Amino acid sequence: MSKNVILKIENLKTWFPVTGGFPKKVVGYVKAVDGVSFEVYEGETLGIVGESGCGKTTLGRTIVRLYKPTDGKIWFKNEELTHLSDKELLPYRRKIQMVFQDPYASLNPRMTVAEIIGEALDIHKLYKTKEERQERIYQLLETVGLVREHANRFPHEFSGGQRQRIGIARALAVQPELIVLDEPISALDVSIQAQVVNVLIDLQEKYGLTYLFIAHDLSMVRYISDRVIVMYLGNVVEEAPSRELFRKPLHPYTEALLSAVPIPDPKIARQRKRIILQGEVPSPLNPPPGCPFSTRCPYAKDICFKEKPQLKEVGGRKVACHFPLE
């Protein structure tokens, strides 16, 4: 795989102000994404995992600039996107697209499929004649395994899997290079998940797409990702090639996450050790002063409560822990 960096995130922070009182004052910040750095290489699939509320979705939405980052930098190839205005951002909107989580909410119920996909073409003026536009819509539908007869139908007439593929077709319409997939399959039936994932994999091979695959389903992440980032409370705690991460986690949180993956073999399932974390995820309004995981970590020592560990290299992978697992 080529090692060209397509997307680079530097110390990205997205904080949401919390207001209260009269007149309104900012009383605190929800630190949804709190200093995240990583790189995405061309043509790879980078998985981002973590439990609900750890900032995965916020991170994805900040990368496509739906949210304004509080601090840090976003680089796409050699251009910094962090502070571009909506107008300046338009050419990059073509390069970075997003597929959303809920196939029932991500398509405008008042528009036909042709209008939904056509809108992408309209905004970026990607056709010269009406016929070309129509042809392109048909072509996109067929790319995701739908048929041209579907063009004049409304979203509510489709199944969840079909809708999600319409969402993928919409993202593909502008010929992006990077697609942020925000839990694209977690709202689908298990039987349909494979169908959508296979469409995604085929498209990646065909168009050389780069994926940022946000999910909480670890087995699916393992199947599709080349590398995986584990997030906890707005921080990256571990970054590693997929195979190695699943073989041998270095961060105690990753270890606990992996131990929760169901195994389709009761014999093995009964033998393995499950790590059950105590307590709740701390509030991102008021994260612990030291390591974000210190309040629930079974191995935590004094330093963990005082000093926040930085993400550092350990044998070709990265982990943010004072005492990485051996």
Partner 1 sequence: MSMDIRVEELKDKSLWEPIPESEKMGAEALTAPQVTFWGDVWRRFRKNRLAVIGLVLLVIILLFALVGPLVSPYPYDKQDYNAILEPPNFAHPFGTDYVGRDLFTRVMYGARISLAVGFLAAMVQLVIGVLYGGISGFMGGKVDEIMMRIVDIMYAIPILLIVILLMVVLGPGLVNIFLALGFFYWLGMARIVRSQILTLKEEEFVLAARVLGASTKRLLLRHLIPNAMGPVIVTVTLNIPNAIFTEAFLSYIGLGVSAPMASLGSLASDGVEYIRTAPWLMLFPALTIALIALAFNFVGDGLRDSLDPRLRR
Residue 170 interacts with partner 1 (CB under 8 A): yes or no: yes
What's the closest the beta carbon of residue 158 comes to partner 1, in angstroms? 7
CA–CA dist 230, 251 (Å, integer): 9
- Amino acid sitting at position 253: Y
Spatial strand order in the sheet of 96-99: 96-99, 178-182, 210-214, 45-49, 227-232, 235-241, 317-319, 312-314
Residue 27 interacts with partner 1 (CB under 8 A): yes or no: no
Residue 268 interacts with partner 1 (CB under 8 A): yes or no: yes
Q: What are the angstrom distances between the C-alpha of 100 and each of 49, 117, 164, 181, 183?
A: 16, 15, 8, 7, 7
User: 241 and 227 in contact (C-beta within 8 Å)?
Assistant: yes
User: 152 and 129 in contact (C-beta within 8 Å)?
Assistant: no
Strand bridging mode 317-319 / 79-80: unpaired
Q: Which is nearer to partner 1, 275 or 300 (CB)?
A: 275
Residue 261 interacts with partner 1 (CB under 8 A): yes or no: yes
User: 310 and 292 in contact (C-beta within 8 Å)?
Assistant: no
Candidates 11, 79, 83, 247: give the one binding partner 1 (CB under 8 A): 247
CA–CA dist 258, 255 (Å, integer): 5
Candidates 2, 21, 130, 149: give the one binding partner 1 (CB under 8 A): 149
What's the closest the beta carbon of residue 312 comes to partner 1, in angstroms? 23
Interface with partner 1 (CB under 8 A), residue total: 56
What's the closest the beta carbon of residue 98 comes to partner 1, in angstroms? 5
Binding mask 283-302 for partner 1 (x = CB under 8 A): --------------------
Binding mask 216-235 for partner 1 (x = CB under 8 A): ---x--xx------------
Look at the block and give the residue holding tokens 């131990």: 259
As to burial, measured by CB atoms within 10 angstroms (0-12 exposed, 13-18 middle, 19+ buried), residue 51 is middle
Q: What share of the chain is helix, strand, coil (3-state, %, to 5)?
A: 35, 25, 40
What's the closest the beta carbon of residue 179 comes to partner 1, in angstroms? 10
Interface region with partner 1, contact rule CB under 8 A, candidates 5-13, 26-34, 95-103, 294-302: 95-103
Residue 136 interacts with partner 1 (CB under 8 A): yes or no: no
Q: Which two tokens stand for residue 101?
A: 């989580």
Residue 169 interacts with partner 1 (CB under 8 A): yes or no: no
Residue 316 interacts with partner 1 (CB under 8 A): yes or no: no
- By the criterion CB under 8 A, which residues form the site for partner 1? 24, 61, 64, 66, 86, 89-90, 93-94, 96-98, 100-102, 105-111, 119-120, 123-124, 145-147, 149-150, 152-154, 156-158, 162, 167, 170, 174, 219, 222-223, 246-249, 258-259, 261, 263-264, 268, 271-272
